[in-house]
Amino acid sequence: MPTISDSTRGEFALIEKIRNLSAPVPEGVLGIGDDCAVLPQKDGLQSLVSCDLLVEGEHFVLDRISPRELGWKSAAVNISDIAAMGGRPRGTFLSLCLPEKFSEADVLEFIEGYNALSSRFSCPLLGGDTTRGKLLCINVTVLGECPAGRAVLRSGARSGDLICVTGPLGDSATGLELILSDRSSDPNYQYLKERHYLPVPRVGEGMAIAKAGAGAMMDISDGVASDLRHILKASSVGAEVDCGAIPMSTQMQKTCASLGLDPVEKALCGGEDYELLFTIGEQELKRLDVEHYVIGRITAGNSLVWKGSDRDYLGFRHF
Ligand code: ADP
Ligand code: MG
């Protein structure tokens, strides 16, 4: 039976070494290991801070994505980490490494997309840095806040809690499949491409889930198969996931069928959905008034069981 430690892979093992080499954080501060760092404030609030790096060729293919889409997505994936704590985003900093081929007009179109997403969440651009370089690199730092002691961490899952997600999974990864294989004639191309390039972070949903009393939460960037393991490891619990209960759009299922792809594998392992994955008690779930799908249950012990499937699933690998 697969165990949670199966997920100890290159990137995460390296981050663990970095953490071990670094100074311990002061009492009351949460450092490396969650979607955001959490810092106390004096006025009954907590600050949430996160940053993410997007590198040309690693996270996007420059001639397949428009500058506007790239700007939107850069803001979205960062604001999503504030949503993952149940917080409210307050502002961002944007650092750009710009190659010659990315023109000034491209930069301005990028900013137009960045601001279109950010303004939806009243999250203004507050600063950053700009430099020349060989590859387009985008680093965003996002600041947010939530009531003191109310950030929803990865470590709060309890045995018996239900495991839920806020929306259908696998659209983004299936969209990427269509983009990279030039299948613009697929009837679901436009929908799936937008789900890949123009994700909308679940900010209001995250705050409502926190208020309802969720135990643990994170955003789905690498796929439930990988991301759930972070919650299980941080909370020292196991899980049973019902593969038949994974929400998937009809567009995604039809396209997977026509490409001969396994939709459940795409949904669990594809990543970049930016839906929220959370655990919550049955009573608390009754108080929750946002779209959600129950996909499994937290168990005691350290096993991760995929009910309804005879295989194990792993998420997206960075290294
Ligand atoms: P997410 O997918 O939510 O953005 P990551 O998987 O990128 O989170 O990172 C996991 C954790 O490790 C986060 O708490 C992040 O801040 C931390 N982290 C990642 N890279 C580094 C680094 N180079 N130095 C310090 N902390 C890091
Ligand atoms: Mg995250």
What would the pLDDT profile of 183-226 be if each residue is shown by its tens digit? 999 999 999 999 999 999 999 999 999 999 999 999 999 999 99
Q: 298: CA distance to ligand 2 center in Å?
A: 20
Q: Which fold has domain 41-147?
A: 60s Ribosomal Protein L30; Chain: A; (3.30.1330)
CATH superfamily of 154-307: PurM-like C-terminal domain (3.90.650.10)
CA–CA distance, 234 with 318 (Å, rounded to integer): 20
Query: Does the beta carbon of 9 sit less than 6 angstroms from any atom of ligand 1?
Result: no
- What are the residue ranges spanned by the domains of the chain? 41-147, 154-307
Which bound ligand lies closest to the C-alpha atom of 274? 2
User: Once rounded to an integer, what is the mean pLDDT over residues 66-74?
Assistant: 98
Answer whether residue 85 shows pLDDT above 90.
Answer: yes
Write down the pTM of the prediction: 0.94
Answer whether residue 178 shows pLDDT above 60.
Answer: yes
Answer whether residue 12 shows pLDDT above 90.
Answer: no
Q: What pLDDT, on the 0 to 100 scale, is given for residue 11?
A: 86
Rounding to the nearest 10 degrees, give the CA dihedral for residues 83, 14, 74, 269. -70
Q: Name the nearest CA neighbour of 271 among 225, 305, 319.
A: 225
Which bound ligand lies closest to the C-alpha atom of 34? 1
Query: Does the beta carbon of 34 sit less than 6 angstroms from any atom of ligand 1?
Result: yes
**Per-residue pLDDT tens for 291-302?**
999 999 999 998
Query: Does the beta carbon of 15 sit less than 6 angstroms from any atom of ligand 1?
Result: yes
Q: Evaluate whether 263 touches 248 at the Cβ level (below 8 Å).
A: yes
**Residue 26: half-sphere exposure toward Cβ, Cα within 13 Å:** 3
Answer whether residue 2 shows pLDDT above 60.
Answer: no
- Average pLDDT across the chain, whole number: 94
H or E segment and range at residue 164: strand 162-165
